[in-house]
Structure 1
């Protein structure tokens, strides 16, 4: 049976930053990898205090930015070999304004659709509120009930979010599961290039160099050329 894998991310680019090399590796091994985004990723950038006369222009600009980000996500997913990519429309950086039940139900619908045996998502301790809420909703949607398809849940790190949470302010990202991405690091970086507008200059952690250095360091800690690190929440074998 072909493995079904579901990546649940808050925003387009989180999937490449957190587990792009793993996506490429799993897809290369024949798994069906589905990527789902819950928030649009750009809505919070809307300028505040606009007048009514400029509302429609602002909305049109937002929609253009959202579509541009989605096109980047489609290019990235093709580079990584993902089977499908889907987009929801929850408000960017405002998932704390949405009832957890609503977010959970949307994730439950994705699980019903794809029946994944493995889910990869955000870490609970990320600084970004959307990442926190997505983690909480995934954990709720994947409650270990009889007949539930999800056997493994992994949390990934996102540069410029996970490591920016101050000590004591959230759960510490202490990885205990590593995936060797030595053979797929270049695919990860190529997919990252699809999100060129989201990248920053070195030494920002969300720069191309920062992402590669992190992969090299994670690899060095486990004895390989490059790796992605995760926190294992559950694994049923």
Structure 2
């Protein structure tokens, strides 16, 4: 159990690095406070769109980043990246539901419905299906995180807008979040790209100042049972 969120914790990421961009500081804090934090990476790159060597490299990057954050275990679901909207939705539901049943998380952190990438939108819906409160083992806390270069690139006034109502203090863990993201060397971009250390720090600083903290990560609470 942690002071921040009830555990065990399951973070669902459509692609490797979404979890670090969206809630890497929270992951580090929860792990440091003794929570068991699991990461579920829904997709993997498939040929011919993705080179197998590149995919293997990203997996290695994720392993290093997750070790740095204190992740208990990383689970790769292996669904095709950038193609979830072409799958039967029931198959995506089943893959995530199986992981939820195995981990039995008290808290799930998931991507936001309004993210630009269709994979994120599909994963959000499937997470809601897997987290349906139909038994005492269902997650009691479900929150959506924001992902730089995805959450804020939707169509304003048309797509759902990210309006956070929960902020987690990561003042002591922001540097570790940035260091973990830097392990994703294939994904890091120079500023002013959003996938840069400077942009990550800027957003965390802004979210922190919103609630009078040095740094924070923001979430939309989807459901909380107390």
With normalisation by structure 2, the TM-score equals 0.94
Any idea what SS the aligned residue of 1:217 has?
Answer: helix
Q: Pick from 30, 55, 66: which aligns with 1:66?
A: 55
For 1:171-182, list aligned pairs within 5 A: 171-182=160-171
Instruction: Note if contact 1:44-1:91 (Cα within 8 Å) is conserved in structure 2.
Output: no
1:164 aligns with 2:153: yes
Instruction: Note if contact 1:17-1:159 (Cα within 8 Å) is conserved in structure 2.
Output: yes
**Aligned alpha-carbon RMSD (Å):** 1.5
Q: Distance in 2 between matches of 1:37 and 1:169?
A: 28
Unaligned runs of 5+ in 2: none
Q: Distance in 1 between matches of 2:215 and 2:38?
A: 23
Match of 2:108 in 1: 119
Q: Distance in 2 between matches of 1:124 and 1:85?
A: 23
Q: Distance in 1 between matches of 2:185 and 2:59?
A: 13
Unaligned runs of 5+ in 1: 47-60
Match of 2:129 in 1: 140
Distance of aligned partners of 1:45 and 1:118 in 2 relative to their CA distance in 1, 3 Å threshold: farther
For 1:176-215, list aligned pairs within 5 A: 176-215=165-204
Match of 1:4 in 2: 8
Number of residue-to-residue matches in the alignment: 222
Distance of aligned partners of 1:63 and 1:44 in 2 relative to their CA distance in 1, 3 Å threshold: closer
Any idea what SS the aligned residue of 1:197 has?
Answer: coil
For 1:3-152, list aligned pairs within 5 A: 3-40=7-44, 42-43=45-46, 46=49, 62-152=51-141
Q: CA deviation at 1:146?
A: 2.6
Structure 1 runs (4+) greater than 3 angstroms displaced: 42-45
Q: Distance in 2 between matches of 1:211 and 1:45?
A: 32
Q: Distance in 2 between matches of 1:181 and 1:222?
A: 12
Instruction: Note if contact 1:142-1:148 (Cα within 8 Å) is conserved in structure 2.
Output: no
Q: CA deviation at 1:176?
A: 0.3
Match of 1:232 in 2: 221
Match of 1:53 in 2: none
Q: CA deviation at 1:112?
A: 1.2
Distance of aligned partners of 1:144 and 1:70 in 2 relative to their CA distance in 1, 3 Å threshold: same
With normalisation by structure 1, the TM-score equals 0.90
